[in-house]
Structure 1
Amino acid sequence: MALSEKFIVLPFKKNRGAVVPGEMRQASSAAAAEKIATAMAPRHIGVAAYSVQVDEESGDMTSPKLIIGFGEVADLNAA
């Protein structure tokens, strides 16, 4: 199992009263993820940038670490 660090940005939206993640965007670095999240923040109820560990074979993502967050975001570790 080969793990690599990836950077993702998630916008959040309301769905039936709950805060849920929208479409994930990848970023090339932590700084790029922070820049994307900052630019998206005014258009969403919440936006967060994370670093995650990705299993290169299965594509599974684990160990999300928050880089920056704006507004209402859900806890990815609780899932």
Structure 2
Amino acid sequence: MSLSEKFIVLPFKKNRGNIVPGEMRQASSAASAEKIATAMSARHLGVAAYSIQVDEESGDMTSPKLIIAYGETADLTVN
């Protein structure tokens, strides 16, 4: 198992009364993820940037760590 750190930004929206994640965007660094999340925050109900560990062989994501969040977000649940 080969783990690498990745950075993602998730916008959140309401769907049938629940807050759900939208389309995930990758970032090149924690600073870049924070910048993207800040820029997206005015257009979405909520936005959060995370660092995650990705198993390069299986693609499984684990150990999400919140970098920054704006507005209403939901817990990030990964394997």
When normalised by structure 1's length, the TM-score is 0.96
How many Å separate the matches in 2 of 1:64 and 1:78?
8
Unaligned runs of 5+ in 1: none
Aligned to 1:62: 62
2:32 alignment partner in structure 1: 32
1:51 aligns with 2:64: no
Distance 2:53 2:78 in 1: 16
Q: Write the distance in 1 (CA, Å) between the matches of 2:77 and 2:67.
A: 14
Matched length: 79
Report Cα offsets for 1:28-70 as digits up to 9, x if no partner.
Answer: 0000000000000000000000000000001111111000000
CA RMSD of aligned residues (A): 1.4
Shift of 1:78: 8.2
Shift >4 Å, 4+ stretches: none
